[in-house]
A and B are shown apart, each in its own frame.
Chain A
Amino acid sequence: MNNFFEKSDISRSEAENIVSDTLSKCDDGELYLENTKSETLLLDDNKIKNSSYNSDLGFGFRAISDEIVAYSHSNEISKNSLRQSSENLKSTLKSVKGTYNHEIPKSNKKYYDNINPIEQKSLNEKIKILNEVNNYLRSKDNNIKQVTANFLGEQKSVEIIRSGGESLTDVRPLIRFNVSVMLEKNGRKESGVYGVGGRQSYDFYLKDENWKSVCDEALRIASVNLESKPAPAGEMKVVLGPGWPAILIHEAVGHGLEGDFNRKKTSAFHNLMGQKVASEGVTIVDDGTIDNRRGSLTIDDEGTPTEKTVLIENGILKNFMQDRLNARLMKTRSTGSGRRENYRHIVLPRMRNTMMLSGNQTQDEMIKAVDKGIFAVSFGGGQVDITSGKFVFNCTEAYEIVNGKIGSPIKGATLIGDGPSSLKEVSMVGNDMMMDPGIGTCGKAGQGVPVGVAQPSILINKMTVGGTKL
């Protein structure tokens, strides 16, 4: 574990005293310390383009009274810096008084090992694999004009010091391996992207030449797109494949069920608790406790152990995702969903691994049930306007469905829908739930955090597909 005070002019007990003194008349707050080591290795255009290493150290000091949050952060863990932050917080909260809530749940469970993935593999070994990736792909297909492959590795150590000196710690490994290829054939260019990752060592993903399957998938997507024709425009039936297409759930309902938007009543879901928001058979959970997953956390960034939170059960809205602030103001408990990108940012309620659970139909049955529609298999990303409830997601591999059969591939297009109503249009839920490959990052209020999604195949009766073919 990191000793944040080792090279500092302030001792741990002095820091604890400043924390306790600053927070004594507040409802909540903590000193959050963070040390992140990360590396990027990039192969592009046949060369190692970038090898870089980052070391980021800092603290964020937070005090909360009633609804008011005061925050101050700095890179310098020093007496002077902590005192200045303390003065800042006190000055913001000078007119409000609170009572500090010392309660924070405890758990001994851990969902990943205390490892530093960066140090587990030498730079030369990593460079060797990237070169193998490049050679492997370029020898597979003559139409390949560009290959980009990268490794991202990180170890984040955090410590949370609460009023009274209580300390909570976590060490979080995270890695990602991405491959992107561009093909050119008869003057037409298309690309394909795939990647894997999670909270464990590089070797887990790379052993036995596992990286080849990542390359194959990126190449397959690009090859499909090379044959694609313009996507249709308008409302139609949509079958989504299992796994990564669960970005739909993340955008359509996930963000709208985050505590802050519902406390402020700015979410399209704020008055729908206990009501039907999805078809029968649709159950959605947000789970931070799956071993080694990208979105998993042993404790959240306020120190609360994470959990598996049921959001929607058999179509009925059951829970929002909460951090401590919004939970207190909404008179409920934190679901361990308080997260921040790093010490520069305040805590917000965020998703972890958001998953729709399996039903009992098959993908075949869904395809057969569609006269005219599309079958979407892989996606690039999405976005939502939580107030109007409108959300989009961009498909990167899709096919037309004609009379119950999968037809030609179609160009990437944006799909748009309405969060509170689109899950009521789900008419079949598959028996093939799958996790995503572990490369998702969710953005909110300028903060990116690693997340996961999962779902089985589903059939949606009506969605608008944003193609160009009328």
Chain B
Amino acid sequence: MVKDQEFLEKKASYCLGLAKKLGATESSVIVNNSVSETVNFRNKKLDESNRSDDLGISITTYIGKKKSSISSSNLLDDNLNILIEKCVEATKNTPEDEFNSLPDKDLLAKEVKDLSLYDDTHIENDQKIDYLKKLELAASNDKKIVNTESSFTQNKSNFILANTEGFCAGYKTSSFTASSVIVAKDEKSMERDYEYSSKCFFKDLDDAGELGKQAADQTIRKLSPKKIGSEKIAIIFDKRIAKGILSTFASAISSSAISRGTSFLKDKVNQKIFSDSINVLDKPDIIKGLGSRNFDKEGVKTDTLKLVEQGVLKHYLIDTYNGKKLNLKSNGRLGGTSNLYFENGNISFKDLLNSKSKSLYITETIGHGSNIVTGDYSVGATGFLVENGEFKYPINEITIAGNFKDMFQHITLANDLEFKYATNSPTMMIEGMVVAGK
């Protein structure tokens, strides 16, 4: 079972005490434990079981404005003694940085709200096997399916964050994740696709049969793809790809990219960077939310932020260190966003497909083609040609390219937002991008 609060707190306070004794003026520590159990199926048979029990500790020590950190998976006191001594020694030898400090005390979270992030239910491996049997049965209906690989993971985690300003808090979280990767084949091609569901509570997880069927359908429809010519065309991003564009936006407004001057969105606060109707929220207190939290990795309280209002950028994502550099207060975003999403647009998915006589619907991108310094974007893509609102045929071996500065100004969102991941977007259309194909 996952280690309890008392064990983690004891380790944390031991470390803070020892660091002080060895000469640290301030310090902070995170202790965490995560226990995961996974069962994998392949072609309707048991393929793998995997149990992991991970302990971790990371300690940051300060001597005035000097700072250093250590981390370890070995929580025996003997080992911690050696490491903390090493950490304090390294701190002494590291140059000062005027912006190094623990968070301002008045910004630390005062209370820990219960956001229903922990489900005590334990799913035995036999139950996981039942779920996967049902899933793979539903996924294997069509003769074109040649391989199915599915997985069920239960994760239970607990952590404590403590610092020498008296902060000491943490809580348990859980997740239940099912996924299925399908390979289908016809005379001309072999294609792969997937479906996935992850929830804090087991009872909220997608139905196994539905998940399997969806994964299979999404794969079969990709068979016998064509390559199209190079042209400028409206691109419609499936929700699972649109969320990635939102994540890139989040990295471009992180205070570290802003303070280092390495973001195309530097100095854009209060400027219009998206089309008029676009609103972006980061809401940490969604009940059972996959990105929900009470405070960030430094203990700073995390409130809801309306990052973009009617297309205008309102906030950066700020942590203590970079906030001090930018002369801004931390808004509790060390470690990134919580539940980040585009608010719904005002047309339906169907109307969005119908809005152009010809467009490309993208279901998968490959490659790491987002450059947040320049805003340039170029990735490999797979999807469908859409004509007059209908999926005509699958497409692959193309790239799509543009620059986020222009792309953001030409976004239209459908009204089909759902909270499937921690970062979510409705279906998204962007006009003016270039497809490279034949």
Question: A residues bordering B, Cβ < 8 Å?
Answer: 7, 44-45, 47-58, 67-76, 81, 85, 88-89, 91-92, 123-124, 127, 145-146, 182, 184, 189-191, 231, 233-235, 264-266, 268, 344, 346, 380-385, 387-388, 390-394, 411-418, 464-470
Contacts and interface: CB of A to CB of B under 8 A. Distances in A.
B55 interface: yes
Interface of B: 42, 45-56, 67-76, 78-79, 83, 86-87, 90, 93-95, 97, 125, 146-147, 149, 183, 189-192, 225, 229-232, 259-262, 264, 364, 366-369, 371, 373-374, 376, 378-380, 382, 396-403, 434-438
Contacts of A189: 261-262, 264, 373-374
Given A266-B147, A390-B366, A466 B53 contact: no
A266 B149 CA distance: 11
Given A53-B87, A468-B401, 7 more contacts: A53-B90, A67-B45, A88-B49, A89-B49, A266-B146, A393-B367, A466-B400
A58 B436 CA distance: 47
A37 to B, nearest CB: 10
A387 B55 contact: no
Contacts of B436: 233-234, 416, 464-467
Contacts of B382: 385, 388, 390
A388 B189 contact: yes
Nearest to B406: A468
Contact of B437 (A71, A81, A392, A464): A464
Contacts of A52: 68-71
B50 to A, nearest CB: 5
B368 A383 contact: yes
B190 A233 contact: no
B50 A346 contact: yes
Contacts of A51: 67-69, 90, 94
A469 B231 CA distance: 9
A466 to B, nearest CB: 3
A124 B73 CA distance: 26
Contact of B50 (A72, A75, A392, A465): A72
A470 B231 contact: yes
Nearest to A234: B230
B399 A56 contact: no
Nearest to A126: B93
Contact of A233 (B71, B397, B434): B434
15 contacts: A52-B71, A53-B86, A57-B74, A57-B79, A70-B48, A88-B49, A127-B95, A146-B260, A189-B264, A231-B378, A231-B401, A392-B399, A412-B376, A416-B399, A464-B437
A383 B380 contact: yes
A55 B434 contact: no
Contacts of A383: 366-368, 380
A82 B52 CA distance: 12
Contacts of A45: 259-260
A48 B97 contact: yes
Q: Which 5 A-B pairs have the closest CB atoms?
A: A466-B399, A233-B436, A392-B380, A392-B367, A387-B192
Nearest to A54: B71
Contacts of A184: 261
Contact of A55 (B83, B380, B437): B83
A468 B434 contact: yes
**Is the contact region of chain B dominated by helix, strand, or loop, or is it mixed?**
strand
A254 B382 CA distance: 21
B397 A182 contact: no
A144 B373 CA distance: 14
A323 to B, nearest CB: 14
Nearest to A95: B46
Contact of B397 (A53, A71, A412, A464): A464
Given A55-B79, A387-B190, A466 B51 contact: no
A380 B368 contact: yes
Contacts of B45: 67
A58 B382 CA distance: 40
A7 B147 contact: no
Nearest to B76: A7
B161 to A, nearest CB: 17
A390 B397 contact: yes
Nearest to B147: A266
A140 B45 CA distance: 62
B376 to A, nearest CB: 6
Nearest to A417: B397
B401 A56 contact: no
Which of A412, A414, A418, A469: most chain B Cβ within 10 A? A414
A74 to B, nearest CB: 4
Contacts of A76: 53, 55
Given A51-B69, A54-B70, A268 B190 contact: yes
Nearest to A411: B376
Contacts of A191: 262, 373
B387 to A, nearest CB: 21
Given A53-B70, A53-B87, A92-B125, A467 B94 contact: no
A390 B48 contact: no
Contacts of B87: 53
Contacts of B371: 412
A73 B52 contact: yes
Contacts of B397: 390, 416-418, 464
B367 A388 contact: no
Contacts of B46: 68, 92
A470 B51 contact: no
Contacts of A91: 125
A75 B54 contact: yes
Contacts of A67: 42, 45, 47
Contact of B48 (A57, A69, A266, A393): A69
Contact of B191 (A49, A58, A124, A387): A387
Contacts of B190: 266, 268, 387-388
Contacts of A470: 230-232, 434
Given A51-B68, A55-B70, A413 B260 contact: no
B97 A388 contact: no
Contacts of A231: 378, 401
Given A71-B51, A123-B93, A234-B437, A50 B69 contact: yes
Contact of A464 (B48, B73, B379, B398): B398
A58 to B, nearest CB: 6
Nearest to A78: B76
Contacts of B398: 416, 464
